[in-house]
Amino acid sequence: MPSSFNITELSKEFCITTRTIRFYESEGLLQPERNGRNRVYSARDRVQLKLILRGKRLGFSLSEIADMISMYHAEPGEIAQLEYFLNRIHDRRLHLNQKRDDIELTLAELTSIEQQCNNRLENLKRAINDEE
Amino acid sequence: MPSSFNITELSKEFCITTRTIRFYESEGLLQPERNGRNRVYSARDRVQLKLILRGKRLGFSLSEIADMISMYHAEPGEIAQLEYFLNRIHDRRLHLNQKRDDIELTLAELTSIEQQCNNRLENLKRAINDEE
DNA sequence: TCGATGATTGACGTTTACGTAAACGTAACA
DNA sequence: TGTTACGTTTACGTAAACGTCAATCATCGA
Each residue's pLDDT tens digit, A108-132: 999 999 999 999 999 999 999 998 7
Over residues B76-93, mean pLDDT: 95
| pLDDT(A8) > 90 | yes
Contact state of B72 with A109 under an 8 Å Cβ cutoff = yes
| pLDDT(A42) > 80 | yes
Give pLDDT, residue B131. 87
Q: Which nucleotides of D are covered by protein (CB under 7 A)?
A: 6-11, 16-21, 25-27
**3-state DSSP assignment of residue B95:** helix
Provide CB contacts within 8 A for B70, sequence distance 6+: none
Q: Which of residues 70-109 of B touch A (CB under 8 A)?
A: 71-72, 76, 78-79, 82-83, 85-86, 89, 92-93, 96-100, 102-107, 109
Give pLDDT, residue A1. 83
Q: Is B47 on the interface with A (CB under 8 A)?
A: no
Over residues A47-73, mean pLDDT: 97
State which amino acid sits at residue B22. R
**3-state DSSP assignment of residue A4:** strand
Give pLDDT, residue B120. 95
Give pLDDT, residue A131. 87
Nucleotide nearest to A38 (CA to C1'): D7
Contact state of A121 with B92 under an 8 Å Cβ cutoff = no
User: pLDDT per residue over A76-93, tens digit each?
Assistant: 989 999 999 999 999 999
If pLDDT is split at 50, 70 and 90, which confidence band does A48 have? very high
Contact state of A72 with B113 under an 8 Å Cβ cutoff = yes
Indicate the average pLDDT of chain A. 96
| pLDDT(B53) > 90 | yes
Task: Please give the Cα distance from A100 to A88 (Å, whole number).
Answer: 18
Helical axes A62-73 vs A79-131, angle rounded to 10°: 130
